Amino acid sequence: MSENKGLLGRKIGMTQIYAEDGAAVPVTVLEVGPCRVVQRKTAESDGYEAVQIGLVEKRPPRSVTEARRGHFKKAGVEAMRHLAEVRVEAANESQPGDEIGVSIFEVGSRVDVIGTGKGKGFQGVMRRHGFGGGRATHGSMFHRAPGSVGQSASPSRVFPGMRFPGRMGGKRVTTKKLKVVKVDEENRLLYLRGAVPGGRNGLVMVRSSY
């Protein structure tokens, strides 16, 4: 398995930059890292190779549980709110306390971004599932309803998994193979072509695509 590079960060917003040929490129700007290695997992002790990283933020968490405080103390790092795990190769030399920055990503490479999509509340079947709806004519009385969802006599029940109205959004979303357009190491910014899940200032995980 090739090494999977990954960092935690926050979504800043969207803009556009111009390529060398003058074409406008829509990009999402992420403030990525810095992250510190909190734990090194090995095949001998844990059964697989990985590193646990934490996002270093300006404001440390106000309260930390006793168990987590001991976890950070063992690694010799400050307390952090957000932790994530990234698979690595056995030859990886990352150790607790090491700092990882946005420079691990290269222009032109592909990355996956994991975030929490925007919550849209309770929605009907037309918006939630893309139903076409009924006739729009006056008096039809069937404009945005879901329609029939079961049988009459046999088996006289509604099967599980039918598409109904309900809560929409607010779930974990992974956008795959976004192209890295620009890397700003000084300001810890990563410019990705396309859209990224979540709202502004939302927490995201950026990892290299497999």
Rounded to two decimals, the pTM is 0.84
Domain boundaries, the chain: 121-168
Looking up tokens 């992250």 gives: 35
Which three-class secondary structure string do you get for 132-167? Answer: CCCCCCCCCCCCCCCCCCCCCCCCCCCCCCCCCCEE
pLDDT digits (tens, 9 = 90+) for 71-125: 999 999 999 999 999 998 887 888 899 999 999 999 999 999 999 999 999 999 9
Alpha carbon dihedral 185, 49, 210, 84, in 10-degree steps, equals: -50
Given pLDDT bands bounded at 50, 70 and 90, which one contains residue 2?
very low
Q: 11 φ, ψ to 5°?
A: -80, 125
Structure tokens at 162: 């039918």
